[in-house]
Amino acid sequence: MAAIIETKNLTKRYKKLTAVNDLSLSVESGSIYGFVGPNGAGKTTTMRMLTTLLHPTAGEAWVAGYSTRRQPREVRRVIGYMPDFFGVYDDMTVWEYLDFFAACYEIPRPVRARLVADLLELVDLGHRRDDMVDSLSRGMKQRLCLARTLAHDPQVLILDEPASGLDPRARVEIRELLKELSRMGKTIFFSTHILSDVNEICTHVGIVEAGVLVTEGTLQDIQHRLVPHRRLQITLLDPTRAEETRLALLEREGVGEVRLADPPQGNGSADAHSAAPALLEVNFTGDQAAVSALLRHLVARGLPLLSFTEAPHDVEELFMRVTKGIVS
């Protein structure tokens, strides 16, 4: 898939401080790219360069094929930018706010009325159309800001900490909105501290620290690069056969450590009156065919399997592995 955002050796220096250092990243069209890093890692600076607000000291960046240095206007036409602050006017109503920004994107007046109504519907603020922006809750303001970024139907959304400072409900709402926008074909490039969001919605991740891109790719790619083995979780209906299962697993090639873990809570399929099921965690090196063969092996042995799953990627673990806690 073609890259819609690309940077080559992007660097930003402020006197002695190097905020972004030789950063080369590539964001595929249609992806949801999580730009993760500690505070002061250079995420916002990178985003400000991508949105033409800052000139790089060195290097180059392109959005949809347009150079941020030489074709800023074309870049602005294809991006929607939401900074990490609200940036709302307190003396405007909700529809005036959207109408104003739509006008700033040179959208003709006859189209704007319908557009504003559609945007408000998309972010579920239609009922607050005539309220003052100032009277909205934090989550609503964030949704309004997101609607603003969509006024000119951009291909790429560049969102700086879209979920920061929001309550859990508002965070879920924003997350759902981002998924919806992705389904609409938008490429979403967003920075975040919230690793669970990355896990939940990102197709790609870039981890940045001290202005340097530490790693980049899909979560699976990064996982395979950093943690070569898979982590399988096997639940047994009969906990007394855990040891037998462990030995059966160790017979197979690629099986590393097998550990008996605490059973999962609230397993709906478990009989409340019987003993709690046993959970085995297995480090396994092998491809998907090998995983399938392993499952067949256990079933053939007549072991009472309740579930057999590959544990989801633990972004926090990956993050801790690749970052060293340095800030620029």
Contacts with another protein by CB under 8 A lie at 2-6, 8, 26, 29, 48, 51-55, 60, 62-67, 73-74, 76-79, 81, 83, 85-92, 96, 100-101, 103-108, 148, 152-155
Q: Which is nearer to another protein, 87 or 256 (CB)?
A: 87
- The minimum distance between CB 327 and another protein, in angstroms, equals 22
Which of residues 54 and 295 has its CB atom nearest to another protein in the complex?
A: 54
Minimum separation from the CB atom of position 116 to another protein (A) = 13
**Residue whose CB is less far from another protein, 7 or 235:** 7
Crossing angle for the helix pair 94-104 and 138-149, to the nearest 10 degrees: 30
Q: Given strand 230-236, what is the order of strands in its sheet?
A: 255-261, 278-284, 230-236, 305-310
The residue (of 85 and 287) whose beta carbon lies closer to another protein is: 85
DSSP reduced 3-state for 281: strand
- Helix and strand tally (H, E) in the chain? 11, 15
Give me the least distance between CB of 177 and another protein, in Å please: 19
CB nearer to another protein: give 97 or 284: 97
Q: Which two tokens stand for residue 243?
A: 């040891």
Nearest residue to 274 via CA among 247, 237, 246: 237
State the DSSP H helix or E strand holding residue 33, giving kind and residue range, or none if neither. Answer: strand 32-36
Strand partners, 32: 188
* Tokens standing for residue 307: 């579930």
User: Which token pair is 190?
Assistant: 């967003």
**From the CB of 281, what's the least distance to another protein, in Å?**
40
The minimum distance between CB 103 and another protein, in angstroms, equals 3
Output 28 or 238, the one with its CB closest to another protein: 28
Q: Which residues contact 293 (CB under 8 A, 6 or more apart)?
A: 252
Minimum distance from residue 69 beta carbon to another protein (Å): 9
| Burial (0-12, 13-18, 19+ Cβ within 10 Å), 1 | exposed
Minimum distance from residue 105 beta carbon to another protein (Å)? 5
Q: Which is nearer to another protein, 3 or 260 (CB)?
A: 3
Q: Which is nearer to another protein, 185 or 268 (CB)?
A: 185
Q: In 3-state terms, what secondary structure has residue 205?
A: strand
Shortest Cβ distance from residue 63 to another protein (Å)? 8
Instruction: Please report where in the chains the tokens 């934090």 appear, as a residue.
Output: 138
The length of the chain is 328
Question: Phi and psi at residue 59, in whole multiples of 5°?
Answer: 85, -175
